[in-house]
Amino acid sequence: MNYSAKELIPRAKQVEGFKNIPSNYWIIGIRSHNDKPNAFDDVFYLMQGESVIMWTSGTTNPGTPILKGGFLKYNKDGAAVLKSDKWYYNVWKYGLHQGKIPALKQLGAPVTIYRDGDMDNKSEEIGKMTSGYYGINFHPDQYDINGADKQSDSINGWSAGCQVCNLIDDYRRIIGIVKNQSSVTYLLLNEFSV
């Protein structure tokens, strides 16, 4: 799942809602076909225009505790699963996730989600689909982002629909680069063949 810019950009131009390739910094999430339950098996690419700046690991899926009923704390219809193969222009703005962690918050534009309510351990684009503001943020999997680099293996409750990075050094670098931008565009792709 390690794509080059020459592979990512043509795919990006084929996706629902494509208007243009942003000239500033933006992020691509790649949702893995493997989708191992509760595992950080997805990839994020920090882009600038049509260039890849860096990539890192994370998840685009809710953790198992959320999928198996934890979603009831947030919404009775199911866990929020962000619709893939879709552009979300200017969706994120710099702020604090839950008032605690420097993050990219869903303050700029609505997103489209499914409500996966079948209570199994797989994140699926099933159930009711709606668009709106659901707090689908980009943040790390811990509150201390200034400590030593840590790599978590399990999503657990860190994602109830958010896009979550599990490599703190990489996360700090991404946030440091994009935090002064007025908004950040996100493109969520399913893993694809080249």
Alpha-carbon gap, residue 106 to 134, rounded angstroms: 8
Alpha-carbon gap, residue 175 to 194, rounded angstroms: 30
Q: How many domains does the chain have?
A: 1
The parent domain of residue 139 ranges over: 5-190
pLDDT digits (tens, 9 = 90+) for 77-110: 999 999 999 999 999 999 999 889 999 999 999 9
Alpha-carbon gap, residue 180 to 176, rounded angstroms: 8
Check pLDDT > 90 for residue 149: no
Q: Do 118 and 66 meet the contact criterion of CB atoms below 8 Å apart? A: no
Average pLDDT over residues 65-75: 92
Average pLDDT over residues 27-45: 95
The pLDDT confidence band at residue 145, using thresholds 50, 70 and 90, is confident
Check pLDDT > 70 for residue 165: yes
Strand-pair partners of 138: 104, 163
Alpha-carbon gap, residue 34 to 32, rounded angstroms: 5
pLDDT at position 157, please?
A: 86
pLDDT at position 53, please?
A: 98
Average pLDDT over residues 40-58: 97
End-to-end alpha-carbon separation of the chain, Å? 10
Alpha helices in the chain (DSSP H): 5-12, 64-67, 168-178
* Distances, alpha carbon 84 to alpha carbons 13, 126, 171, in Å: 14, 12, 22
